[in-house]
C-alpha cells in the first residue's frame, strides 16, 4: 500500500514526524512525501527534516509566494499526476493550510481516501482562509483524527460521524519525545527570566497600525521583562517596511528542539500561532493569544489561554501572569495519537 503524505508548512512537517516513523514500521506500507514548498525558507522547512529524522520528501513542488487561488490551483495540478504515477492508496493531510486543501481536492478527484490529522477544529470565523481549508478538508475526508473532544463535537454539529474519532494530538506525541533534547542556543539567551513571543499571522502583520501597536506594547513590557522573539521572515519584512523600532531580543527562525527549549524555560507565551498555544499548555505555560478567535477553544475554557487585542497586550499580560492556573487536565490525549492513527488507517485499508 502506498501512502502519500502531503505537507507544506512548518507545523505539518513537525506533525508528520511520529506518523512517518510509525508508517515505516509497517511492512505493507510505503510512504511518498510530497512537499508543496509552501514554506520555502531553510529555517522554516529543511531544518525540521534534519533534526527530527523525517525522511526527505520524494517531491518538492516549490509552490509559494502567489495568492490563495493561484496557489491551490497550481498545487492540485502538480499533486494529482504524482498520486496517479505513484499508485497512491491513501492520502495523509495535516491541519488547515493551502497544502492541506490542495492535497485533499487532488485525492478526492481521483477517489483516493483522505486521512485528515487534526480534524474538527473550528474558530468560527469564515473570513480566515484556514477555517475554510479545514472545513472543506473535513467534509472530503474518509478518516478524521480529532485532537480533542471539542473537535469531535464540532464534527457532530456538521453531521460528520463516519470516520470521525478522538485520536489525541500528534503534537503532544512530538513534545514528549523532543522536549528533553539538547538545544544549540547561545547560553546567554536564557540567562535571565523572559517571555517567549511569536507574531506572524496575516491579520497582524499586514496592518502597519496593528503591528506597530503590538510592538509598542512589547517594547513597554520589555523594559521590565525580557521578551525573546524568534522572527518569522514575513514579520521581519513588515517590520522593515513599516519602519518599526523594537528593543525585544530577536532570533532567526528556530528549529523545533531550540524552540521547545525556549518554551520550557520561559515565564509565559505571547503569540498568534495556533500550534504554540497548545505547546504552551503541554509545557504548563500561560499563553496570551493576539487574535480575535482561536480554534483551541478548550484552552480558553481552562483559562490557561487568553485572547487579546494588540492594544491590550500589556494589560492582559499583567492580568494573566498573576493568575493561578491548573494544567492537570489531559486535554490532548496520552501521547500515543500517532499509534492510534496508523492502526485506524490499517483497519480502513485492509
Taking the C-alpha atoms of residue 111 and residue 253, their distance in angstroms, rounded to an integer, is 38
Distance CA 97, CA 12 (A): 9
Pairing mode, if any, of strands 2-7 and 90-94?
parallel
Give residues with Cβ within 8 angstroms of 322, minimum separation 6.
none
CA-based torsion, 102, 108, 112, 116: positive or negative: positive
Residue 101 CA to residue 336 CA, distance in Å, equals: 26
E runs forming strands in 36-187: 59-60, 90-94, 114-117, 143-146, 164-166
Backbone Cα Rg of the chain: 20
Long-range own/partner contacts, residues 328-334 (CB < 8 A, 24 or more apart): 329/302, 331/148, 331/281, 331/298, 331/299, 331/302, 332/147, 332/148, 332/168, 332/169, 332/171, 332/172, 332/278, 332/281, 332/282, 333/147, 333/166, 333/167, 333/168, 333/169, 333/172, 334/168
* DSSP letters spanning 240-267: HHHT----SEEE----HHHHHHHHHH-S
Written as nine digits, the cell of 238 is 513588515
Cell representation of residue 92: 495523509
Q: Helix, strand or coil for residue 214? A: helix
Q: Note if 35 is an active site residue.
A: no
- In angstroms, the CA 68 to CA 129 distance is 8
Q: Reduced to 3 states, what is the DSSP secondary structure of residue 280?
A: helix
- The catalytic residue among 35, 39, 200, 232 is 200
Give the residue numbers annotated as catalytic, written as ranges.
200
Amino acid at each position: 500500500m502506498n501512502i502519500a503524505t502531503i505537507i507544506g508548512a512548518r507545523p505539518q512537517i513537525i506533525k508528520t514526524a511520529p506518523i512517518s516513523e510509525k508508517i515505516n514500521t509497517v511492512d505493507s506500507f510505503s510512504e511518498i512525501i510530497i512537499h508543496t514548498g509552501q514554506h520555502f525558507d531553510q529555517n522554516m522547512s529543511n531544518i525540521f527534516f534534519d533534526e527530527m529524522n523525517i525522511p526527505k520528501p520524494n517531491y518538492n513542488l516549490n509552490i509559494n509566494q502567489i495568492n490563495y487561488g493561484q496557489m491551490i490551483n497550481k498545487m492540485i495540478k502538480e499533486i494529482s499526476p504524482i498520486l496517479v504515477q505513484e499508485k497512491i492508496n491513501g492520502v495523509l493531510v495535516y491541519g488547515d493550510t493551502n497544502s492541506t486543501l490542495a492535497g485533499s481536492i487532488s485525492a478526492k478527484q481521483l477517489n483516493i481516501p483522505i486521512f485528515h490529522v487534526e480534524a474538527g477544529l473550528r474558530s468560527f470565523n469564515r473570513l480566515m482562509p484556514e477555517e475554510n481549508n479545514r472545513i472543506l478538508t473535513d467534509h472530503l475526508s474518509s478518516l478524521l483524527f480529532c485532537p480533542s473532544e471539542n473537535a469531535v463535537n464540532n464534527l457532530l454539529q456538521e453531521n460528520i460521524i463516519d470516520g470521525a474519532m478522538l485520536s489525541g494530538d500528534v503534537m503532544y506525541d512530538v513534545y514528549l519525545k523532543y522536549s528533553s533534547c539538547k538545544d544549540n542556543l547561545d547560553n546567554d539567551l536564557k540567562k535571565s527570566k523572559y517571555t517567549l513571543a511569536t507574531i506572524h499571522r496575516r491579520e497582524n502583520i499586514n496592518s502597519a497600525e496593528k503591528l506597530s501597536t503590538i510592538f509598542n506594547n512589547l517594547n513597554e513590557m520589555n523594559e521590565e521583562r525580557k521578551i525573546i522573539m524568534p522572527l518569522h521572515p514575513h514579520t521581519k519584512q513588515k517590520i522593515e517596511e513599516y519602519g518599526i523600532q523594537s528593543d525585544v531580543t530577536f532570533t532567526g527562525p528556530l528549529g523545533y528542539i531550540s524552540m521547545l527549549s525556549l518554551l520550557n524555560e520561559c515565564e509565559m507565551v505571547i503569540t498568534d500561532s495556533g500550534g504554540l498555544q497548545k505547546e504552551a499548555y503541554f509545557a504548563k505555560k500561560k499563553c496570551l493569544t493576539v487574535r480575535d478567535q482561536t480554534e483551541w477553544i478548550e484552552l480558553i475554557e481552562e483559562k490557561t489561554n487568553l485572547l487579546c487585542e494588540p492594544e491590550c497586550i500589556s494589560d492582559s499580560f499583567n492580568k494573566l501572569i498573576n493568575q493561578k492556573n491548573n494544567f492537570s487536565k489531559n486535554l490532548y490525549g496520552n501521547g500515543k495519537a500517532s499509534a492510534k492513527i496508523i492502526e485506524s488507517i490499517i483497519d480502513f485499508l485492509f
